[in-house]
Amino acid sequence: MAEAVHNALESGLEYAVLPLPERHLVSFQLRFLVGTADEPAEFLGLARLLEETLDKGTQSRTGRELADAFDSIGAGRQSGTGRETMTFTCTVLPQHFDRAMELHAEFLRQPTLSDDAVAVNTQLARQELIALEDDAHGLMEKLLARQAYGSILGRHPLGEHETLGRIKRGHLESFWKERFHSGRMMAAVAGAVEPADVAHILAKYFDGLGSPRRAGRDPFSLEFSGRTAHYDKNLEQEQIAVCWPGVDAIHDDFPIQQVTLGILSGGMSGRLFTEVREKRGLVYWVGAWQETPRGAGMMFLGASTTPERCDQTYTTLLREVDRLAEDLTEDELERAITGIVASQETRGDTTRARCAELANDLFFFGRPVPVEEKLAKVQRVSIADIRRYLDEHPRDQLCVATLGPRALGTGIEKNVPPGFAKVAR
């Protein structure tokens, strides 16, 4: 198994390289430790607006010329803004790696952030907020995040109409100048590259980018709020989402949480799919997932169903989590573990997946973590571990949100199984 190289440049830029010489591609991710949680409260949406505006013009090129330059090397690019980070991901043929990095450095270091580009992207963000109203799943995620995570971690990248209206070019420029430093930057590279070449290229293009002082690594506080809310909307289906605090990505119990999710929702034999969909025909979509901001973790259950099946779907979802502590079998446990291990071999065949994993290792663990080390922890998880985990992370404070034509039935709390205290409405 290939070993990753981990180092930091004099500029403070931390990087990791996973050389995969047999591949025909290189993937890299540049991650800045700045996200929506860093936005001033009156300028929500600022971070994503900056991300969208950065590549719309540099000191030497218009936005269109820059996009053309990327296309001329066939770069596959993506960018994103999360709670704590802004990421710029790119996949290219190996001969274009240097050029791809040069072009990234150009817009990350010398953006013009012109008034026109800011105005257009602000307008687009406003329209995306309206478009979100036509996306039931996306809207549900937004509403639940605000409800569950509180005022800092619960922010939506698009911000709000009111706060977007306040953002001016100067705000973007200040936010960029204050936070786009080498000390807040991480680079992960995987594919057909030599680590020494990567170090040289990163130094060539990013040396002298602001302060080398490490920053942006402290977790934000989670303000979990266990309450139930209904958001009325004219939809065919009711969207249901439930969450409660779990553990963060570097917690010793994280592998246990991962396996627990696998048992609930890892494959079609998972409990939620089996009990909610296959046995009862209540839904088409049902699932469980987790989110792990630094220092916090959140477990989620979700489903969408026609309004008349909403109450039964909700109680079945919750019942299945509780039942884990009662009748989990060794076979279920083994299947969940096998699923996690096997996905390393299947998805691991793609360079992009290897790069993404390396980038997450840097962010969460501060080092590349060998796949074997992670899988060994997963493979050690036992039924007793899962019972202990469920016991230590009780679902006595649930955050519940529904979006659609009707709220959960008024008597629904009576049907909530033991372990689920009545939640506030």
Partner 1 sequence: MIRLAADSPYTLHRLENGLQVVIEVMPGVRSAAAGFLVRTGARDEVPELAGVSHFLEHMMFKGTAKRTWQEITIDFDRMGSTYNAFTSEDRTFYYGWVPSAAIERQIELLADMMRAALPPDEFATEKNVILEEIAMSKDHLEHVMFDFLQEKVFAGHPLAWPVLGYDATVSALTRDQMWQYFQKRYAPDNMVFIVAGNVDPPRVIDYVESQCGRWKPSGAVHSRRPPVVHEGVDVLALDRFKQQVLALTFPSIAATDPNIETAAAAAAILGGENSRFFWNIVQKGIAPRAGAHHLDYADCGVMILFAACQPEQAEGALQALRTEARILCEGRVLDAEVERVKNKRRTTLAIEAEAPYYRLTQLIDDMEYHGRPRTVEESLAEVDAVTADSIQDYVQRCPLTVEAHLTSVGPRKFPDTTP
What is the contact surface with partner 1 in residues (CB under 8 A)?
Answer: 22-25, 56, 63-64, 67-68, 70-76, 91-93, 120, 123-124, 127-128, 130-131, 133-136, 234-237, 266-270, 273-274, 277-285, 304-306, 331, 334-336, 338-339, 341-343, 345-352
Q: Smallest distance, Å, CB 411 to partner 1?
A: 23
Of 124 and 203, nearer to partner 1 (C-beta) is: 124
Residue with tokens 């942006």: 216
Q: Smallest distance, Å, CB 217 to partner 1?
A: 32
Q: Smallest distance, Å, CB 221 to partner 1?
A: 34
Of 274 and 360, nearer to partner 1 (C-beta) is: 274
User: In the β-sheet with 238-245, what is the strand arrangement from edge to edge?
Assistant: 228-232, 399-404, 238-245, 298-305, 285-291
3-state secondary structure of 290: strand
Of 124 and 152, nearer to partner 1 (C-beta) is: 124
CB 91 within 8 A of CB 76: yes
Q: How far apart are CA 41 and CA 59, in angstroms?
A: 30
Q: Smallest distance, Å, CB 247 to partner 1?
A: 24
Q: Smallest distance, Å, CB 267 to partner 1?
A: 4
Of 279 and 367, nearer to partner 1 (C-beta) is: 279
> Which whole-number Å values give the CA distances from 41 to 47, 59, 182, 270, in the listed order?
12, 30, 25, 41
Give 49's contacts (C-beta < 8 A, 6+ positions apart). 118, 121, 122, 125, 159, 164, 167, 172
Of 229 and 235, nearer to partner 1 (C-beta) is: 235
Beta bridge partners of 186: 14, 31
Q: Smallest distance, Å, CB 333 to partner 1?
A: 12
Q: Smallest distance, Å, CB 171 to partner 1?
A: 20
Exposed, middle or buried by CB within 10 Å (0-12, 13-18, 19+), for 115?
Answer: exposed
Of 281 and 394, nearer to partner 1 (C-beta) is: 281
Q: Which residue, among 16, 293, 38, 15, has the nearest Cα to 159 in the 3D structure? A: 38
- Mind giving me the DSSP string for 3-52? --EEEE-TTS-EEEEEE-TT-S-EEEEEEES--GGGS-GGGTTHHHHHHH
Alpha carbon 17 to its chain's center: 22
Of 350 and 360, nearer to partner 1 (C-beta) is: 350
